[in-house]
Structure 1
Amino acid sequence: MSKWYPKKGRVIFHVDMNSFYASVEAAYDPKLKGKPIAVAGNPEERRGIIVTSSYEARAKGVKTTMPLWEARRLCPELIVMRPNFERYRAASKEMFKILSEITPNVQPVSIDEGYMDITECQDLGSPLEIAANIQNRIANELDLPCSIGIAPNKFLAKMASDMKKPMGITVLRKRDLPKKLWPLKVEEMYGVGSKTAEKLNGINVHTIEDLVSTDVYQLKRLLGINGERLKNRAIGIDPSPVDPDAVYDFKSIGSSETLPNDTVEETEIKRLFRNLARNVARRLKRKQAVGRSVQIMIRFHDRRTITRSVKLPNYLEDEDEIFAVSNDLFEQNWNGDPIRLLGITIQDVAEKKEIAHQLDLFTYEQEASKEGLYKAIDKLNEKYGKSTFIKLNSNQEDNQPRTSFQKDFLDDYKK
């Protein structure tokens, strides 16, 4: 076992569910197995895009973010389904439960992927045996496929899990990098987006090997500290820990939505802003958090996108306040062009328990006027239990995630 578990090194897994949404739908309805499936936002509308697709659909050329009309042209027999995030959340929770039974050192990073540090799991067998056990359990108990990368750090484990899909188990050691990693195009490297790749291509860095051989000072001039970080990762250096508590770290909470049609209709715009404000307020409530900055995003009909923000003197969390500030920002910055997408993000977010309740005169007057009510509620809570009073418009569904990008629920597997 010593060769697999070095005394001074780490053994890290990256577990990545394969075609997660489509796989969950096929597990839920076995009649869909082996068929080209796509999950798409707003499949009835012209702006619907592919969120994910099964491998049978991918074989026909269907890709994530592809317009639905194009996907149907490539694959006329494509079965298109709306996202069911409650279903995906339930599957995600069970998957992370399986991982946490191996080690408590599990770091979820999204609904369908996470890291594990199994350095102290020698009594469970070799890393390959542990990976095979995880993969088989997820397949047998949840009827879902996954790929697992095994490496000495998180970055290499992430790259390894992408090398064989579906149902792959890939080991990526530092000595393997010249053959397995460096020949890849630089845009295939985790952490390199299209804009970064374009900048790197501009200095003749086209492969990861080119990145490794480029002077670090040139990279820092081009990309700042990220240039040095990318080179370190490419040569196999990534000291970042697997942090089970990272799921609680958040700096912003937001919501965005694409309109079914480009519009200049103010009634429709305000309706969408109201919905977005409600979503953000719901998520703040779920996290027991507040924020001090409001940012809006406006994407116009020609895909031109602007963001505008304002920092407030006090924290906010209320739907009406979020809507009012967002709408005011919009009115100040909209030029009248047709709009395709709107978004609201609350930034400078903090948990309520971590901040002092600083009351200005106005807030103090509001709180003081409710003091008698609060005392009455406290007495009733003492008599009948907590949460005696719930807002009339609240319901269980309010706490459900609305998109895959929300991370509010990634600790559910611990509950």
Structure 2
Amino acid sequence: MDIANETDTMAASFDLVARQDQAEKDISVLRSDVDEVKARIDKIGRAAARPAIEGAAKDSPEVKGFVDGYLRRGSETELKSISGMVQSEGGFAVPREIDAMIASELKEISPIRQLAQVVQVGSAGYRKLVTTGGTRSGWVSETSARLETEAPEFAEIAPPAGELYANPAASQGMLDDAGFDLEGWLANEIAMEFARAEGSAFVNGSGANQPLGFLSSPTSMAGDAVRPFGSVQYIGSGDANGFSTNPESGLIDLVHTMKAGHRQGASWLMNSSTLSEVRKLKTSDGAFLWQPGLVEGQPDRLLGYPVVEVEDMPDVAAGTFPIAFGNFKAGYLVTERSATQILRDPFTNKPFVHFYATKRVGGQVLDSAAIKLLKIEA
């Protein structure tokens, strides 16, 4: 009996040791799995915290399908299968990454777009209410009767809009070249054409299927208090053919016809020909009115305000408005649909492939008190 008991005890001991060894092995494997999971989590965390590589958005399936599938080869089926895009009458909507490239180029090229208030709209018509008169106010004692508050006066702004288009072309050889930066080239070409057409319309647009330019808006010599809503105030230069013998006085008067609140952020607008004349103007003591930017990147200044060159402004001539002074962020409104559409056309002008791009853009003077003009007249 004693030998049998000892045998059972030894067997139980060996079994316990084996179980302990297995448990230690299981714990070791579990720790290894936990360490592996932690390493993966740390790797994901580091990747998430890492700054995005410039141009990485171009590798998205939507962009690759649009550029390689549709723009290079004209494959609508591949584009639809990758990104789910649906063609409309005007073509396919440009992916937002490429549309952002176009918008960035537009802002860099078009000076009015840099200065004006730009809003994105989702429909063809956009309307905005502008307050033209405030409510009644006054001083009274604690127990005195208050006069009834009058309703504020409003005017409606509905900027005229039109379809802006560009139609750049590329040869099939360019499209077949894998090293050709198609999206960059296309964004630059569209932005250049859009900026050229926009710049002209924002200044001189007729308002018929295009924006109404601020120089095409009604003008008046009356001050802000009595001038009709929507009309832009101007003052004369003092000379029927150019600047007077005392140009500093006229330019100072132009600045101070604007309210102090609008003068914060105001700029001069003129073309390079007018700027060449302005740079020669001197005060009575011989000092130049124009001051160059002292630091690289800072704009040149006239009477302390930045000068922006806008080539669509007219030259100095009798009856023209060659100089504008204004806070265009408050004074001019640009409306646009956010999506640019592109239609690929390989048939009209063989062997070239045209990319017909369209975008709806509108514009109008928002607050005429924020824009002042100098007219060449006696």
Give the TM-score normalised by structure 1.
0.20
Q: Which structure has the larger Rg?
A: 2
Say which structure, 1 or 2, has more relative contact order (CA 8 Å, 6+ apart): 2
Give the TM-score normalised by structure 2.
0.22
Q: Which is richer in helix?
A: 1
